[in-house]
Every structure is written in C-alpha cells, then in structure tokens.
Chains A and B, each alone.
Chain A
C-alpha cells in the first residue's frame, strides 16, 4: 500500500505530536520517579542528619561523663559515694545504726515505704531524731551523714537546745533531720 503524500502542515503536526509524546513519556517514566527518589533520599538524609546531631550531643555528654567519672574515681575508695541498688534498706539501717551509736545514745528512726519513681529511682526517706552533745557534734553528724557511703541528701533539719538552756552553742542539742537515701530499681514499672 502506498503511503499518501503528507503536506508540510501535517508533517509539522506529526513532529509536534511525537515531541509531545516523548516529553510526556520522559516526564512520567523518568523525571517524576527520579524526583520522587531524590525527595525520598533527601528526607532520609535529613533524618540521619538530625540523628547525627542528637548523637553528637550524646557523644559530648559521654565525654563529660567520662571526664567526671575519671575525677571521681581518682578519689580514695572510702570517699566514693554510690547509688545503691534497690532494695538497700538493711544496709542503710545498719549504716545509720552503727553511725548513730558512735555519736549518741538516744535516737529514733522512722522509715516509711520508699517511693519508687517511673525512671527507677527509689527515694527512701528516713526521719531521725537524736540528742547531740553540742552544736559542733550535730554539725559533725550532718557532715558524716552527707558523706556516707550511700548517696543521700539531708533535707529538713531542725536544732533545738535541750532543757532550760536557750543557747545552741553551749548546751546539748536536739537534732531532727530528714534524710533521703537514693537507690536504683533496675526493673522500673512502665
């Protein structure tokens, strides 16, 4: 079959349509998937970048922690203060009993159930009332408790002179303190 001869106008139309077809195929089959790929790659890169920034902060924190630990561990063994594992009640009570017997003959201790935080930090709050020979003695007790082996914080503190005397510096002192011992529960409730 012989092809009919096309007029120049028809040829231009056909060429235009062919170019349009190529452009559509290029756009649909090449450019759009490529742009989608690049967008996906860039999103992943941005996520990784954010992760890297947060990890770099953690790395800086790690360096600080390492440095701090190095300084702490350079101290003599008996000066190290530790966060005890839960449940350390017996150790704490034994420590306080030994310690208080050295300083006073009369004391009372109350220790309600510890408070266990969501992060596993256990706060064992102990209230003590004891009779000290002097203000300096009371100060020594607070200092020794603060520096005890297990990590703790002395919170509420009250000092009153005992008996008729009204001067804390010249008489026996009644010391009432609240002390929080910290422990770590390795299986915190979520």
Chain B
C-alpha cells in the first residue's frame, strides 16, 4: 500500500555499469606519412617534372626561337638586298636605253647585214658575177653567173669554213662548154661572236 507522500521502501533504481573488458589496448596511433616512400615518389615526380620541362617546354621553345632567328636572318638579308635593289628600275631603264635588251629573240640572233654583204664581197665576188642578193632572216640567196663546176666546188668548200656559215645549198645549170650558166646559192648563216 502506498500512502501519498509517504513511502515505506525506497523504489529508486540505480543503474550500475561494470567494466567487463579483461584486456588492455596498448596500440598507439602511428603517423600516416611514410617518409621513405614519400621521398621516392617525390624524387620520381621531380625527375619526371624536370624531364617534362626540358623536353616538353624548354626544347620546344628553343625550336621556336631557332625558327624565329632564321626568319630574322632572312629578313635582315632581304633588307640589305632591297637596299641594293632600290636602283634596279633606273639601271634597267638605262640598260634598255643603251643596249639591245628590248629586241626579241629572233631580232637578237639576226645576223648583221653588214657581215653578210662583206662575206659576199670577200668570198663570192672573186669567183663570179653576182646578179642578185636577197637576205631574209638568216638566209641569204645569191644568183651567180660565170662559174665553172670546179670553182663552184672551191667556193662551196671555202665558204663552209667561215664560222658564220651554217649550211649551203647549191642549184645550178650546166652550159654546153662546161661553165655553169646560172648558179643559185642559198646560205644559212648564224650570228658571229660579238
């Protein structure tokens, strides 16, 4: 029976914990850093980094610098040449004025008419009578009279030895007494050394 405010027995409960561990843990917390391992890893990282910097960065930049140096050399060389070339147009105009630079190839290689007429005078006139001379390009056509076959042969040989004579074509008609009535001579010539 319980009377309010009065208790005959104490009902208060006490909770007691009794240690039941029978062993002691002496293990201490070791440091997480393994310095030996870390120094090896760091060494490898540094070596890789150095190699990367050397071959990946420095050498590549050196390649670019070398290319820039070559470009700069070329630009300097070109600047020097351009300075010298500044007078090219004036010089070319002067050169064109006093030389035959404006002549085309055919005109440049045209044999001098003076040379042709002199060759005819020196070689042909002593052999026979020239009745016609025609010069077109480097081809000379002559009509010669009063020449024997033997003389025609001599003239042919003699003229072929001339440095400006390239080829000779002869056509002739023989008269009954052995003389050539008319001989046509076509001479192919070339410009001689100046």
Contact = CB atoms under 8 A, between A and B. Distances in A.
Interface of A: 26, 30-31, 34, 37-38, 41-42, 44-45, 48-49, 51-52, 55-56, 58-59, 62, 65-66, 68-69, 72-73, 80-83, 119, 121, 135-136, 138-139, 142-143, 146, 151, 153-161, 166-169, 177, 180, 182, 184
Interface in B85-104: 85, 87-88, 91-92, 94-100, 102-103
A158 to B, nearest CB: 5
A103 B96 CA distance: 31
A187 B95 CA distance: 18
A37 B118 CA distance: 69
B56 interface: yes
A56 to B, nearest CB: 7
* Chain A binding surface SS class: helix
Interface of B: 56-57, 60-61, 63-64, 67-68, 70-71, 74-75, 77-78, 81-82, 84-85, 87-88, 91-92, 94-100, 102-103, 107, 110, 112-114, 116-118, 121, 125, 129-137, 145
Given A34-B64, A142-B114, A157-B113, A82 B98 contact: yes
15 contacts: A30-B56, A34-B63, A41-B71, A42-B67, A52-B81, A66-B91, A69-B95, A69-B99, A80-B98, A81-B98, A143-B114, A160-B133, A169-B125, A169-B129, A169-B130
A62 B102 CA distance: 16
Contacts of B63: 34, 38
B92 A59 contact: no
Contacts of A168: 125, 129-131, 133
A68 B99 contact: yes
Among B70, B97, B131, max chain A CB count under 10 A is at B97
A55 B78 contact: yes
Given A58-B88, A151-B100, A135 B67 contact: no
B91 A62 contact: yes
B100 A59 contact: no
